[in-house]
Amino acid sequence: MKKRIKILLIILMPIILITGGILMKLGTPFDIFLTKDFTKPTKIERIDYLKEHEEEMTNFVKKQNSKVTSVQWDWDSLKVETGGGPITSNTWISIEAKFNDIKDSSMMLQWPLRDEKSFPKISDMFLSQPLRIDGGTKFYE
């Protein structure tokens, strides 16, 4: 009986190890749950959040310059970046835009973030790049 169990183990062990190795290499449908951080908002979730506050963002830009009548947000330009100096490290979210339907206009709005897992506080927005025209070579006045 013991000899039979040993032979069975000798046969089954490589089969189990090979099967496990193949599954590890191919992956499983459950890998997404093991590798994705569901607490970190996606770019789409952040864009949706900012779109909810688009009017506030546009009004903020209009207050910076009375000649601005419209803002065209570039939602694909949304970025979350970590930077800072040697003493501090900050996380920011930024979005680029054009204004007044001027093809070569540009500006950038930014918000500080507590960390990469948070959404911005809309009232903390500021212009990190002033209103510019002619491909960024001239200030818009």
Q: pLDDT by residue (tens digit) across 86-140?
A: 666 688 899 999 999 998 999 999 999 888 888 999 999 999 888 988 877 777 8
Return the exposure string of 102-121: e unless at least 16 CB atoms fall within 10 Å of the residue's CB, then b. Answer: beebbbbbbbebeeeeeebe
Q: Where are the domains of the chain?
A: 2-35, 43-139
More confident residue, 31 or 44: 44
Tell me what pLDDT residue 28 has: 67
More confident residue, 124 or 82: 124
Least confident interval from 27-36, 44-53, 61-70: 27-36
Rounded to the nearest integer, the mean pLDDT of the chain is: 86
pLDDT band at 37 (very low <50, low <70, confident <90, very high): low
What's the fold here for domain 43-139? Answer: Nuclear Transport Factor 2; Chain: A, (3.10.450)
- Angle formed at CA 84 by CA 78 and CA 90, multiple of 5 degrees: 60
Tell me the pTM: 0.68
126, two tokens: 């500021």
More confident residue, 22 or 14: 14
Tell me what pLDDT residue 57 has: 96
Residue range 45-49: average pLDDT? 93
